[in-house]
A = this chain, B = another copy of it.
Amino acid sequence: MNLQQALDILKSKGYKYTGKRERMVQIFSREDRYLTPKEVLGEMQEDYPGLSVDTVYRNLSLFEDLGIVEGTEWEGERRYRLHCGGDPHHHHLICKECGRTRSLNVCPMNAILGEPEDFTITGHKFEIFGYCKDCEAVSKNEGNCTHS
């Protein structure tokens, strides 16, 4: 999903179109990687000093409900990125260090034959974690540190 599509969702679904919401979508579009709520707050405060954390959390939650962003978590921290939907369904390689992703064109659900008995599927998650080339160099220098 690109910036315009995301903004269109906000407009068309009848939610108020505020500068803060637009800015927040722009951040996700520009960064194009997984961000923690804290990172989002930090970038927002460059334009809106003193922005309430509640506003970020509320909008992250709204954006997730609207399918504008998608969330996951690793190393105990929740993260969000612009939703990739619209394009054919796919999954990601995720760099645990910088949050950047690479698309995988396989979905393991294709190998699942129909609905299993006595179980209703509501969703699935397939993610490959690791380090991209840039970040691997960094993590090697850090030795055994459990970097946050």
Give residues in A with beta carbon < 8 Å to B: 73, 76, 78, 93, 95-96, 102, 104, 106, 108-109, 111-112, 116, 118-133, 136
Contact = CB atoms under 8 A, between A and B. Distances in A.
Contact of A133 (B112, B119, B122, B133): B119
19 contacts: A73-B73, A93-B121, A95-B119, A104-B112, A106-B112, A108-B108, A108-B126, A109-B128, A112-B128, A120-B131, A120-B136, A122-B129, A122-B130, A123-B129, A124-B126, A124-B127, A124-B129, A125-B126, A125-B127
A100 to B, nearest CB: 10
Contacts of A104: 112
9 cross-chain pairs, A with B, having the tightest CB-CB distances, nearest first: A108-B108, A118-B133, A121-B130, A124-B128, A122-B130, A126-B126, A123-B129, A120-B130, A120-B131
A112 to B, nearest CB: 7
Nearest to A93: B119
A125 B125 contact: yes
Contacts of A123: 128-130
A119 B106 contact: no
